[in-house]
Amino acid sequence: MIFTTASLAKRIEQAESVMLTECAEAAGSRLPEGEVYIGRAGGGVAVFTEPGAPFNKLAGLGFEPLNTDSLAEIEREFARRKALLQVELASLADPAVGTELTRRGYELTGFENVLGLELQQDALRMSGDRETPAITRATPEESRLWMDVVTTGFLSPDAFDGPVSHESFDRATLERVYADTIASKGFVRYLARRDGVIAGGASLRMGGGVAQLSGAATLPDHRRRGVQTALLRTRLADAFDGGCDIAVVTTQPGSKSTENVQRFGFALLYVRAILVKAPA
């Protein structure tokens, strides 16, 4: 059982910041020079790639002293781009950061869960599956196929008993985002097949002993058939072999994704508050 500490949350938030930076750098290779912005404040990183992109956010705040001048510079850069500045603030971060953000006009718009699983050999075994979909790593030639599968799955969400998501994206935006993850270093992508038919996909990023599970989606016709369980097990085994000691996943509260990973043994580590500041 994991006991969540501020030190553990800092590790996870630092991994998130590195991932954002790498994806922003990948986006910079296809966008006009000067379009992508990367700024730093309070141990966190702020990224802007293009209008409406999911990467446009400030993550990792609250685990190092906050320099308000650095934060003000980030705010100016987002305002110059007429973009909302979204901060993801961990509940284990310094509460004074939340106070400062509120004072500066940020508004609470939602929450997201960060769940984790300690990677031990016993944790990688799970019995009782109705089926065992075949999981393979996506080859470079399958990049487009992987991108289409996870985008289609993401755009066909399951019904759930939870709050409305604080963000939504269209297919074109998601495809650009997934293309940037393909171009960035560190990501491993997976495809799931049932009887030889593509059923879903997912991705894994490892760094600093933290395995970040992301991009998981199942096509509607293949749901409730063990696809997500098989994708989870394969990625966790690879993360364990890769030297990671903890796996983390970010989910929307009350979502089917939360149910899936909790059934596998993931525990809620902490919550991120989503605070947003509109451009002046």
47-86 residue pLDDT tens: 999 998 989 999 999 999 999 999 999 999 999 999 999 9
139 inside domain: yes
Is the model's pLDDT at 168 over the cut of 90?
Answer: no
Same domain? 126 vs 242: yes
Is residue 37 included in any domain, yes or no? yes
> In what order do the strands lie in the sheet containing 246-251?
37-41, 44-48, 57-59, 85-90, 267-277, 107-118, 246-251, 210-218, 197-207, 187-194, 134-137
Same domain, 229 and 107: no
Same domain, yes or no: 125 and 263: yes
For residue 269, what are the CA distances in angstroms to 12, 41, 122? 10, 24, 20
Q: How far apart are CA 85 and CA 165, in angstroms?
A: 17
Looking at the structure, tell me whether residues 146 and 244 fall in a common domain.
yes
Domain span at 213: 118-269
20 and 89 belong to one structural domain: yes
pLDDT digits (tens, 9 = 90+) for 209-267: 999 999 889 999 898 888 989 999 999 999 999 999 999 999 999 888 898 899 889 99
Instruction: Say yes or no: 230 and 93 in one domain.
Output: no
Spatial contact of 141 and 173, defined as CB atoms under 8 Å apart: no
**Model-level pTM?**
0.89
Q: Domain count of the chain?
A: 2
**Whether residue 106 sits in one domain with residue 38:** yes
Say yes or no: 36 and 107 in one domain.
yes
Look up residue 110 and give its two tokens.
């939602």
Name the 3-class secondary structure at 2. coil
Please determine, for residue 128, whether its predicted confidence score (pLDDT) is greater than 50. Answer: no
Considering the domain architecture, whether residues 68 and 162 belong to the same structural domain is answered as no
What region, left, alpha or beta, does residue 260 occupy, with left being phi > 0 and alpha being psi -120 to 50 degrees? alpha
Q: Is it the case that residue 196 has pLDDT exceeding 50?
A: yes
Q: Quick check: is 249 in a domain?
A: yes
